[in-house]
Amino acid sequence: MKTWSQVAEVQPLATRIITNSIKKDRISHAYLLQGERGTGKGAIALLIAKGLFCPNKSSVEPCNECNNCKRIDSHNHPDVHWIEPDGQSIKIEQVRNLQKEFTYSGLESNQKVYVIKDADTLTVNAANRILKFLEEPSKETTAIMLTENSQSIIPTIRSRCQVIDLKPLHAASFQNQLIEQGMEKNQAVLISALTNNLDEAFRWSGDAWFAEARKLMVQLIEMFTTKPEDVYLFIHSRWVAHFKERQEQEQGLDLLLLAFKDILYFHIGNEDMMVCFTSKDPLVEKAAMSFSQENLVNSLNFVLQAKRKLKQNVQPTLVIEQLALQIQR
């Protein structure tokens, strides 16, 4: 999404709020964009930055052709700073470096923008440092914070930002879009349950890593069902070795979450909602015999707890070990 009109198709309310501010020259000094993956947080951040730097805007729309727009798109504009997690979190050193940059005059204007991706991963010290930054806003400084997990943003930061809630995208329409562009239906059904980002969806579709991740999820469900005594060994020899980075670990848990949902749907006769398996898959029948509905609901809650622990920077191997023990009880 490169224009506000494109963003408006999926996020009409957010677009209206921000573009009205641009028209009135009342851009907030700080935004908190909160929403699931694929809801347009990054695209909106880019458009806000372009709105401040593009010299050739047409009303609220940036030209997307000038040097400023192109450098903002490639994260190379000297007065637009991006902070992303260093490993599992955003650390205080990163915020200190940002503040140091902001003590200097803008290289090309007095305007400066900083974008904090995964703002929920700020350490306590880093969050407090950002808070001080927000409490003393410069007229020419705009902060844009992006998060999927708004509950982890401390209230004092939230209170100093204009909070923009992005609505979840409609999975069925996205699924149809994938099929129309050539993706096989079974693959489209699964991937549309994991992401709403078109580029990401097609990258995963042809990705050997993702294919192996799906295979490992099926094997782990089979282990829980037929060889629970081997689960611990499987996790250490196969699972941990494949899901190395934080985003990969979260994706592994997302696949497990969908798998347990499928088994629950099979239990209650709602097979049309299944995305990982089909109702004729022998493994689903075996799993439905091994797990009661109560077990499945508990397992789903355990996976969600594991996802929260990853967000809180708990050691990933400990998270998956504990999850396995909880599911087996």
What CA–CA distance (Å, rounded) separates 259 from 253? Answer: 10
**Of 2.60.120.590, 3.30.460.10, 3.30.160.270, 1.20.272.10, which CATH number belongs to 207-328?**
1.20.272.10
Residue 105, pLDDT above cutoff 80: no
Residue 60, both tokens:
């609220």
Helix (H) or strand (E) holding 226: helix 208-226
**Predicted confidence band of residue 107 (pLDDT cuts 50, 70, 90):** low
Mean pLDDT of 246-254: 92
From 36-50, 102-116, 159-173, the region with the lowest mean pLDDT: 102-116
Q: Which residue carries 């999926």 as its tokens? A: 10
Q: Answer with the residue of higher pLDDT: 24 or 173.
A: 24
Q: Say yes or no to pLDDT of 21 above 80.
A: yes
Segment 90-94 shows an average pLDDT of 94
- pLDDT(110) > 90: no
Token pair belonging to 245: 């980075």
Give the mean pLDDT of 199-211.
91
pLDDT at position 257, please?
A: 95
Report the mean per-residue pLDDT for the chain: 91
| Over residues 294-303, mean pLDDT | 95
Specify the pLDDT at position 147: 95
Determine the Cα–Cα distance for residues 245 and 192; give it in Å rounded to an integer: 22
Which residue in the block uniquely carries the two structure tokens 């609901």? 297
Helical pair 282-290 and 208-226, crossing angle rounded to 10 deg: 40
- In this prediction, residue 132 carries a pLDDT of 86
Question: What tokens appear for 225 in the block?
Answer: 């069902």
pTM for this entry: 0.68
Confidence band, pLDDT 50/70/90 cuts, at residue 170: confident
Q: Which CATH class is domain 4-165?
A: alpha beta
Helix (H) or strand (E) holding 7: helix 4-10
* Domain residue spans of the chain: 4-165, 207-328
pLDDT band of residue 106 (cuts 50, 70, 90) is: low
Alpha helices in 103-207, H assignment, sequence order:
124-135, 155-158, 171-180, 185-192, 198-205
Q: Over the stretch 141-166, which tens digit does the pLDDT of each residue have?
A: 899 999 988 888 999 999 999 999 99
Phi then psi dihedrals of residue 243, to 5 deg: -95, 85
Q: What are phi and psi of 78, to 5 degrees?
A: -65, -20
